[in-house]
Amino acid sequence: MHVIIAGAGIGGLTAALCCAHRGLQVTVLEQAETISEVGAGIQIPPNAMKVFEALGIAGLIARNAFAPEAIECRMGESGMTLFNVPLGDKAQARWGSPYLHIHRADYIAALREALEAAAPNRVRIGAKLVSYTQNDAAVTAHLEDGTHISGDVLIGADGIHSSVREQMLGPDKPVFTGNVAWRAVVPVEALGDNVPNPTACAWMGRGKHAVTYGLRRGALANFVGVVERDDWKDEAWTATGTREDALTDFAGWHPSVTSILNAVQEGHLFRWALFDRLPLKTWTGGRAALLGDAAHPMLPFMAQGAAMAVEDGYVLARELAEGQGDVSAALQSYQHKRYDRATELQAASRANAKTFHKRTWLGRVSTYGPMWMAGRAAPWAVRGRLDPTYGHDVTADAR
Residue 127 lies in a domain: no
| CATH code for position 222 | 3.30.9.30
Angle formed at CA 334 by CA 111 and CA 285, multiple of 5 degrees: 105
Q: How many CA atoms does the CB half-sphere of 48 hold within 13 Å?
A: 24
Q: How many domains does the structure of the chain reveal? A: 1
Per-residue pLDDT for the chain (399 aa), expressed as one digit of tens each? 999 999 999 999 999 999 999 999 999 999 988 766 666 899 999 999 999 999 999 999 999 999 999 989 999 999 999 888 888 777 788 899 999 999 999 999 999 999 999 999 999 999 999 999 999 999 999 999 999 999 999 999 999 999 999 999 999 888 898 899 999 999 999 999 999 999 999 999 999 999 999 999 999 999 999 999 887 777 777 788 899 999 999 999 999 999 999 999 888 899 989 999 989 999 999 999 999 999 999 998 889 999 999 999 999 999 999 998 899 999 999 999 999 999 999 999 988 877 777 776 666 667 777 666 766 666 666 777 889 999 999 999 654
Catalytic residues: 213
pTM given for the model: 0.93
Residue 43 lies in a domain: no
Angle formed at CA 84 by CA 82 and CA 89, multiple of 5 degrees: 170
Spatial CA neighbour of 212 closest among 177, 166, 256, 176: 256
Instruction: Report how far residue 7's alpha carbon sits from residue 395's, in angstroms, rounded to the nearest whole number.
Output: 23
Question: For residue 180, what are the β-bridge partners?
Answer: 227, 273
What Cα–Cα distance (Å) separates residue 114 from each residue in 10, 18, 119, 362? 12, 11, 8, 51
Task: Please state whether beta strands 70-75 and 2-6 pair in parallel, antiparallel, or not at all (unpaired).
Answer: unpaired
What is the extent of the structural domain holding 242?
175-272
DSSP 3-state of 75:
strand
Residue 238 lies in a domain: yes
Residue 290 lies in a domain: no
Instruction: Report how far residue 146's alpha carbon sits from residue 151's, in angstroms, rounded to the nearest whole number.
Output: 17
Burial class (CB in 10 A: 0-12, 13-18, 19+), 189: exposed
Residue 364 lies in a domain: no
Residue 379 lies in a domain: no
CB atoms within 10 A of CB 116: 12
Cβ 5 vs Cβ 29: under 8 Å: yes
What does residue 140 show for φ and ψ, rounded to 5 degrees? -125, 125
Spatial CA neighbour of 276 closest among 299, 309, 293, 245: 299
Residue 246 lies in a domain: yes
Residue 9 lies in a domain: no
Instruction: Report how far residue 242's alpha carbon sits from residue 266's, in angstroms, rounded to the nearest whole number.
Output: 7
Q: Identify the helix (H) or strand (E) that includes residue 213.
A: strand 208-215
What Cα–Cα distance (Å) separates residue 84 from each residue in 119, 221, 374? 42, 19, 10
Burial class (CB in 10 A: 0-12, 13-18, 19+), 79: middle
DSSP string computed for 123-174: EEET--EEEEEE-SS-EEEEETTS-EEEESEEEE---TT-HHHHHHH-----
DSSP letter for 9, please. S
